[in-house]
A and B are shown apart, each in its own frame.
Chain A
Amino acid sequence: MKQSITAHIFRFDPDQDREPHYQEYRVEAEGEVSVLMLLSRIYHEIDPTLGFRNYCCGLQMCRSCLMKIDHKTQFACLTLVKPGDVVTVEPLTYPDGHIKDLVVRFPAATH
């Protein structure tokens, strides 16, 4: 049997929700995947309402996928998780510049 990666993801749509909450997803995986790929799989396979910047430059340069992974600021494209892992994913900033779920308006300093 394939093992799962468990993700606790910060969810908050100011138009629909009263307050933020964490949603748990279990994603079956055969090997290591990046957190960005994990989010992409959750969006495509489990929950199309998940908001995140679904973009990758592939060169670790654009900083579009900067977010808090296990409470530390990390590139989601480079941070790998493996089956059996539990990972917490939160937006880079909240409430300042927060748009929805993991999407934020980038502060000038990260550009």
Chain B
Amino acid sequence: MIGGGGAGALASIEASEHEKLKIILACKGPIGQSGLTPTANGGTKAIGSAEELFKDMIIGGSYLNDQDLVWFMVNQIPRAIEKLKKFGIPVMPLRGKSACVPSTETLKKLRDIILHQQNIELLEDVLITSLLKSDKGISGATALDLTTGIFFVIQARAVILATGGLTGELYPHTSNNPFGVSTFSSGTGHVMAYLAGAELIDMEMIQFVPLPANPKCLYLRYFPEFWAGPYENHCGEIIESDVKSYPGESYSYLFVQKLFRELEKGNGPIYIDQRNSKKPDPALMIKSWEMRRKLIKSLGIDPRDNRIEILLGSHFGMGGVRVNPQTETSLPGFFAAGEVMGGVHGGMRLSGYSLTQMIVFGLKAGEQAAAFTLGQGKPGKIPMEDVQQEKARLIHLLKPKPDPVSVMPLKKALRQVMQDHGFIIRDQAGLTEGMKQILNLREDVARISVFDSRRYNLEWIEAIEFSLMIEAAEIIMASALKREESRGFHYRKDFSKEDNTHWLKHTLAKRVEGRLKIDSAPVVLDRMRPMG
């Protein structure tokens, strides 16, 4: 089990119900103190009929969602919520179709259960660096104990990938880094899967959202009343005062593209100015947050007292590892759940549906991988040369080089390429240029040199992840180049219309003979079709 966010923790517990099985759960930080789950404020779509939720998701996702995944998910919600309650997790009604599953409390509870479960071995502060193939499929992973710097191998009869998102490290501005501190959402899980031969679906689909420009103000993004606006340009002209009119509200691609065009016209910066607004709509205010409202006052960032500058940044990856509703990938013994899986949200994720995805598919992956494992004999044989090669790659980063470069400026340069050429509005020329620049940066990877210290060496971790991140960047650009239309969060200036005749298709990224190949496959529309 790779990843200690909600999906990974739930999958481990679910699989551990089979006493005969042993589960090894590896996560790069302590559960509840790493990854993106703790940064979620808990809004979870949990109420409403399956048909209604399905329709919302498909229309929201511009018909690009994998309908089998969505149908499975919306039908499993009641069962998954019951399961959470059984674990002692509070699920409280919120507003509309949402419930609150408080993320940190949930993870604390799940960690307690994991620590008491005899057949789960919890490896915290352990970074998985590659997946290991065998004659039977995926049969293990290479790992680095961050607290000692010791490299080791984990053998397994099944591997579940629940490594979360990919957009945080790839763009200069992101919701993934609260207060401006990184959560290391770097897409390494996506790339490990890709390198092992799995398919990645719709990787061009990245959600961008408006965000406070000052890292200190990022906290405000948790307050629904903040997003109501009004949004103004630098002249004080109102750009938008009715975010509710957009499907998906402030998560809407149409709204984000509107703000982007305003910035392109030179009318930035954009502000949310609530200094003269009437009192916030009580329907938007989360009741139990009085303490948090006091905190924004004491931090000096209350939007009722200050005009808040807004930038656009990355939020969520709709694309990811291609799976079926059983969370099975195309590789035997290899499963994926949570944000790292693709196809659930199509072209746009609606607010509240990522925790639902995490809970439903986390539980399913645990159940499915357990059933698979029980039917297996011994784990497959892993070629030792693959292990040695990976170890050599990690150690090479610590070696002095004749013409050394540091990983941090390379990362900064990669983010700039993504911002310049793979952001909200794209076109062929930009994407091609972006790919070229990524290839240039890739050549620098061999020159990365990190101070040789094995114990909790942050720069080493970043360097290990960077060579995977750069692959993720290339896959996103190449997938975006392939999709010659505009749909959801993918907007092409040179193909500005949604093209249902030719592009009700997924892009599929796969490694073939050591090279990236982008294919496409029709979206199966057997439950719901676009009109006309």
Contacts and interface: CB of A to CB of B under 8 A. Distances in A.
A59 B456 CA distance: 25
A34 B177 CA distance: 14
Given A51-B458, A111-B108, A37 B215 contact: yes
Interface residues of B, number: 41
Interface string B452-472: 011111110000000000000
Interface string A16-41: 10000000000000000010110010
Contact of B406 (A48, A61, A99): A48
A16 to B, nearest CB: 6
Contact of B181 (A15, A54, A103): A54
A37 B179 contact: yes
| Contact-size category for A | 35 or more
B456 A57 contact: no
A16 B453 contact: yes
A58 B457 contact: no
A111 to B, nearest CB: 6
A108 to B, nearest CB: 8
B95 to A, nearest CB: 19
A55 interface: yes
Contacts of B182: 40, 54-55
A47 to B, nearest CB: 10
Contacts of A15: 149, 453-455
B139 to A, nearest CB: 30
Interface string A74-111: 00010000000000000000000001110101100001
Interface string B195-237: 0000000000000000000011011001000000000000000
A97 B139 CA distance: 33
Given A59-B38, A100-B455, 4 more contacts: A54-B458, A58-B39, A58-B222, A61-B103
A90 B121 CA distance: 30
A59 B178 contact: yes
Nearest to A34: B179
A68 interface: no
Contacts of B29: 53, 55, 64
Contact of A49 (B33, B149, B406, B453): B453
Contact of B104 (A16, A48, A62): A62
